């Protein structure tokens, strides 16, 4: 739904429950982070009872959905994707206005959503196989384990069949930075595997997600796909109801700990994609021409640094330190910081004031210990009076290794660059860090880079590239240590949405 407000229309998104769009007793505003006094739209504020109704609807839809053949579910998902051509440009603009990212990134995100759903649908055949364990002939003179001690006869030889079954209701909680792309890492896999789903969109950027899910749900059986927006207290049934059999959460490590504690009450399975302090390691033989510098810079400042897979710190061999710093400085100098809908904007605002203030504080603390901080780019004319959450991209040069901007995830446009002499010490630092989401290695020698990459204990390591622009969506994704548990996408991500079932037959 839309309603006119000034020169633009405000979007109203209700709750998607059981195939119907429901209103609410209350609505909460969603603001433009580039102009926080401007309301982009309103999302329905669910009550706890409406959240329980969403679980009811998903639970009621699950038996029939899970009874379909995997290929049937995949075909229905592909049919539903055809609906996404509707209002495509309007949803791109809506994502820019509620998230802050430039239009090109918003367009890419909608394309990633469709591509990931299509890839998941193509894996439906992986669910049909049954692995069989057949009886083996007993060798002469062998005695079954335990038979001699107990005096019992040998047990019959057995055969077993191992298959996978859907879990049931799956709740997916997504962040604001790349909400549709993150959602597509789990949603289509859950659906193809035979689960019904409830999506909890981010409170600062829910509108495009709900609008997109509404289009998908129109071509799916009622209740298979639901979406609920509202406060954490109001949506608590989505994680506390015992009928929810998996919670997929992407967000901060601290919130991930809370999700684990809640899930423990019902022994609910969890997939957690949490914070990452992702390092890039530039070796002494790295090729640092314009293309490489551009990839590294984009990988560090994409979405104003608000990418979980983005570079958060760079370790560069001391012999290449100045070359890298000057190369990235030249790349960043041309940035135009402004509203994402302006055609010349290359970097938008941070999504919210808390994130902006956190990044600003990290940079200020680095300055306080005499670190050199270089800021780049120019603000667009619309920035000065907008009150938006804008920051210029910054390089923090050679900070102490224990400084906050090095050890914390800044999740914003401020990048520490640290020269090193001992590669082994850098690898050890990375492997002992609290995080273990992603990393990258940069070298002209791919074999050497691969050897370093094999030593890094992070969920994904890229070589000579980084972040979402280099993601292989066929591969599983997830983190080590406090960066999360479980995997999304790929065969492993599909299996996470199932339970293993063994049927054992007598001889």
* pLDDT tier for residue 506 given thresholds of 50, 70 and 90: confident
Q: Are residues 63 and 95 in the same domain?
A: yes
Q: Are residues 300 and 191 in the same domain?
A: no
Residue 16 vs residues 5, 37, 174, 221: alpha-carbon distances, Å: 24, 28, 16, 13
Q: pLDDT at residue 405 above 80?
A: yes
Q: Are residues 80 and 51 in the same domain?
A: yes
Share of the chain above pLDDT 90, in %: 88
Give, rounded to a whole angstrom, the gap between the first and last alpha carbons of the chain: 62
So what's the pLDDT on residue 150?
53
Residue 396 lies in a domain: yes
Q: Are residues 178 and 195 in the same domain?
A: yes
State whether the Cα torsion 141-147-152-154 is positive or negative. Answer: negative
Structure confidence by residue, pLDDT tens digits, 299-329: 999 999 999 999 999 999 999 999 999 999 9
Q: Are residues 333 and 250 in the same domain?
A: no
So what's the pLDDT on residue 145?
52
Q: Are residues 199 and 333 in the same domain?
A: no
* pLDDT tier for residue 5 given thresholds of 50, 70 and 90: very low
Residue 89 lies in a domain: yes
Structure confidence by residue, pLDDT tens digits, 125-180: 999 877 888 886 666 555 555 554 555 555 558 889 999 999 999 999 999 999 99
* pLDDT tier for residue 469 given thresholds of 50, 70 and 90: confident
Residue 140 lies in a domain: no
pTM for the full predicted model:
0.93
Regarding predicted confidence, which is higher, 4 or 240? 240
Q: Are residues 235 and 308 in the same domain?
A: no
Whole domain around residue 492: which residue ranges? 2-127+165-274+487-501
CATH of the domain at 265: 3.40.605.10
Structure confidence by residue, pLDDT tens digits, 193-218: 999 999 999 999 999 999 999 999 99
Q: Are residues 445 and 377 in the same domain?
A: yes
Q: Are residues 291 and 185 in the same domain?
A: no
Tally the domains of the chain.
2
Q: Are residues 181 and 258 in the same domain?
A: yes
3-state secondary structure 214-240: HHHHCCCCCCCEEECCCCCCCCCHHHH
So what's the pLDDT on residue 139?
60
So what's the pLDDT on residue 129?
79
CATH of the domain at 452: 3.40.309.10
Mean pLDDT of 7-35: 90
Q: Are residues 253 and 358 in the same domain?
A: no
């Amino acid at each position: 739904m839309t309603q006119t407000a000034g020169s633009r229309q405000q979007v109203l998104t209700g709750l998607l429950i059981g195939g119907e769009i429901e209103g609410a007793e209350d609505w909460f505003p969603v603001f433009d982070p580039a102009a926080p006094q401007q309301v982009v739209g309103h999302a329905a504020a669910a009550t706890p009872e409406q959240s329980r109704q969403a679980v009811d609807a998903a639970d009621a839809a699950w038996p029939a959905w899970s009874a379909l053949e995997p290929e049937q579910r995949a075909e229905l998902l592909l049919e539903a994707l055809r609906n996404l051509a509707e209002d495509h440009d309007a949803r791109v603009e809506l994502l820019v206005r509620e998230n802050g990212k430039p239009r090109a990134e918003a367009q890419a995100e909608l394309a990633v959503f469709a591509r990931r759903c299509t890839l998941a649908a193509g894996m439906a055949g992986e669910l049909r196989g049954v692995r069989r364990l057949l009886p083996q002939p007993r060798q002469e003179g062998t005695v079954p384990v335990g038979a001699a001690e107990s005096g019992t006869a040998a047990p019959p030889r057995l055969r077993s069949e191992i298959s996978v079954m859907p879990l049931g209701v799956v709740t997916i909680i997504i962040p604001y930075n790349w909400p549709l792309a993150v959602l597509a890492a789990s949603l289509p896999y859950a659906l193809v595997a035979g689960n019904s789903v409830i999506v909890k969109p981010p409170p600062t950027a829910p509108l495009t997600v709900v609008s997109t899910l509404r289009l998908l749900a129109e071509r799916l059986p009622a209740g298979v796909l639901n979406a609920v927006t509202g406060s954490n207290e109001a949506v608590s049934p989505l994680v506390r109801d015992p009928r929810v059999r998996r919670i997929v959460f992407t967000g901060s490590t601290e919130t991930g700990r809370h999700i684990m504690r809640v899930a423990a009450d019902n022994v609910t399975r969890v997939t957690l994609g949490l914070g990452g302090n992702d390092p890039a390691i530039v070796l002494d033989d790295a090729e640092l021409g314009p293309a490489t510098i551009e990839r590294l810079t984009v990988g560090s400042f994409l979405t104003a640094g608000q990418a979980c897979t983005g570079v958060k710190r760079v370790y560069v061999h001391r012999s290449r330190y100045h070359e890298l710093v000057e190369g990235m400085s030249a790349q960043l100098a041309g940035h135009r910081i402004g509203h994402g809908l302006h055609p010349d904007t290359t970097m938008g605002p941070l999504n919210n004031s808390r994130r902006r203030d956190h990044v600003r504080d990290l940079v200020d603390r680095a300055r306080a210990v005499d670190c050199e901080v270089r800021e780049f780019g120019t603000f667009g004319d619309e920035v000065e009076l907008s009150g938006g959450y804008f920051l210029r991209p910054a390089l923090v040069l050679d900070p102490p290794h224990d400084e906050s901007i090095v050890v914390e995830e800044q999740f914003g446009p401020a990048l520490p660059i640290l020269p090193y002499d001992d590669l082994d010490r850098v690898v050890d630092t990375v492997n002992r860090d609290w995080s273990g989401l992603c990393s990258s290695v940069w070298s002209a020698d791919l074999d050497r880079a691969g050897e370093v990459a094999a030593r890094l204990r992070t969920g994904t390591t890229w070589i000579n590239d980084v972040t979402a622009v280099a993601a292989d969506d066929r591969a599983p994704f997830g983190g080590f240590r406090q960066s999360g548990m479980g995997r999304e996408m790929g065969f492993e991500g599909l299996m996470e949405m199932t339970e293993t079932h063994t049927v054992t037959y007598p001889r």
